[in-house]
Amino acid sequence: MTMTNARRVSVKVWAPIAILFIIIATSKITTAVNARWYTSCVDNIEIITDHSAENTSKPPEDNVGTSTAATAPVISVSVSESTKQQTAQSDGLEMSKPNGCVFDKCEHDAFIYMLVPFRNRGQNLKRLAFTLTTDAVQARWSSLDCICLAVGNYDDEVTGMSASEALLEWKGSQNIVSLSGNFSRAGSLQSLLTDENKLITTAEDESLLFIVDTDMAMFPGFLDDLVTSTKPRLGYVPICYSVNDSKNWREGVWRDGGAGMFAAYASDLRRVLNNKFPGANKLTHGEEDWMIQHELRHNSVDYLNTTRHCSPGLWHLPHPHVSDWTATVDGMSAGPTVEGNGPYSDEAVAKLVAQIYVEKVFFNLPLSAPCRRLASQGTNWLGKYVQPRKNHNRRSRR
């Protein structure tokens, strides 16, 4: 064999190997870049102490000899230049922030409406908006320009931070709808979606609605899960991780027994429920979530199938409950508790949220056995009042 022929054989042998090596190396680099991109928002979160808010009325619990109280950490987000450009348009907004859902600069497919029933839990609403912001600035399938916070605000009697004050730092659009009468969770949703309120400003089959309580937190990864799991004619009922002890996030459970947080496209809620929610006149805690889910799946005229799985980015933060929402001004204080979460302390919850961000718990939160089972059930999941839907020939409103 001549030297030239030997070289040709060598090239034929080694060229495919070299190409394969390049593909593998490129794949690893891409994976590393994607992982770094996904965690960039969390890496930029800083915990600082706001000395201007110090309370000098009592000594700190861990150091009684001092004259100032220990302050709760304030969570501050330092974002990249691209994120600064994304949020700069809303800087400097005061109490006169425009009221209405605006998506003119949204460059994604889904216009997201966060529907929040609200009554006098301003600190909770502010924390919800903050966690939503930290998720939105790193989300792949959404952004602040694609999210509107829609608050059904029962404001006959206002105590503490108002809804408007709670959203002063929120950079997306908002629509706060004033509601009268006693607080009703399902009633708030029904009121928000009346045609008179004109909440939905985009095509209903492009408008993703997520019903969420003020006591929730949305950590990085949840928005992408929400957008990819909710489709036209397919709803999503995520299972949240619920913390029982504000001093330790590990004292929590996957709340597979509840279905209060759920997502569906506006066109589907109109098609199946005609925007009339079961339990709209209910004034007590519990059951209305399952009533709604039952009606969505088992409506006699039309239906909406839903999927359900555990979402590590969706958390329920600890707070006391009262069985009768009419008994207190905020549904938490000065009333009989129905869940033993202990005395409510906003400072303790603020520290808890800071700890969750620092430890990046939402990236490796262990799943429970029910979580693992649900992952394979698709639309055939079971729940209170909710069974897998049989394929009956039923008349549709379509």
Determine how many CB atoms are found less than 10 A away from the CB of residue 377: 13
- Better-predicted residue by pLDDT, 330 or 28: 330
18, 111: one domain = no
The whole domain housing 192 covers 101-380
More confident residue, 84 or 177: 177
Which residue in this structure is represented by tokens 């069974």?
387
Give domain status of residue 78, yes or no. Answer: no
Please indicate, yes or no, whether residues 210 and 293 belong to a single structural domain of this protein: yes
**Whole-angstrom distance, CA of residue 222 vs CA of residue 13:** 47
Amino acid letter, 334: A
For residues 11 and 109, state if they share a domain. Answer: no
- Do residue 29 and residue 106 come from a single domain? no
Residue 163 lies in a domain: yes
What totals of helices (H) and strands (E) does the chain contain, helices first? Answer: 10, 13
388 compared with 217, residue with greater pLDDT: 217
Query: Is residue 230 domain-shared with residue 307, that is, in the same domain?
Result: yes
How far is the C-alpha of 391 from the C-alpha of 170, rounded, in Å?
44
How open is the CA angle 133-347-93, to the nearest 5 degrees?
Answer: 35
Q: Is the residue at 390 inside a domain?
A: no
Q: Give domain status of residue 280, yes or no.
A: yes
Handedness of CA 308, 233, 288, 332 (dihedral sign): positive
Tokens (6 digits) for 334: 């000065």
Q: Please, which contacts does 83-87 make with residues 24 or more away whose CB atoms are closer than 8 Å? A: 83/41, 83/137, 86/137, 86/143, 86/144, 86/145, 86/171, 87/137, 87/144, 87/171
First to last CA, the chain: 76
CATH code for the domain in which residue 348 is found = 3.90.550
- 24 with 116, same domain: the answer is no
In terms of domains, do 212 and 296 share one?
Answer: yes
Note whether residue 93 is domain-resident.
no
What's the pTM value of the predicted model, to 2 decimals?
0.74
Same domain, 109 and 26: no
pLDDT at 361 over 70: yes
| Whether 29 and 113 share a structural domain | no
Residues 220 and 341 in one domain: yes
Share above pLDDT 70 across residues of the chain, in percent, rounded to a whole number: 66
Neighbours of 136 (CB within 10 A): 25
User: Are 249 and 362 in the same domain?
Assistant: yes
46 inside domain: no
Closest C-alpha to 331, from 343, 339, 323: 323
How far apart CA 28 and CA 164 sit, in angstroms, is 46
Is residue 328, in this structure, part of any structural domain at all?
yes
Tell whether 85 is covered by a domain.
no
Range with the poorest average pLDDT among 75-84, 113-122, 331-340, 365-374: 75-84
The first and second tokens of residue 88, run together, are: 């700069």
Question: What mean pLDDT value characterizes the chain?
Answer: 76
Question: Higher confidence at residue 350 or residue 21?
Answer: 350
Specify the number of domains making up the chain: 2
One domain for residues 36 and 106? no
In terms of C-beta density within 10 A (0-12 exposed, 13-18 middle, 19 or more buried), how is residue 284 classed?
Answer: middle
Closest CA to 224 of 263, 269, 167: 263
Rounded to an integer, what distance in angstroms lies between the CA atom of residue 145 and that of residue 168?
16
Q: Over 70: is that where the pLDDT of 241 sits? A: yes
Q: Bigger pLDDT: 18 or 62?
A: 18
Q: Give, in order, the Cα–Cα distances in Å from 387 to each of 2, 230, 305, 376, 382.
A: 76, 20, 11, 16, 5
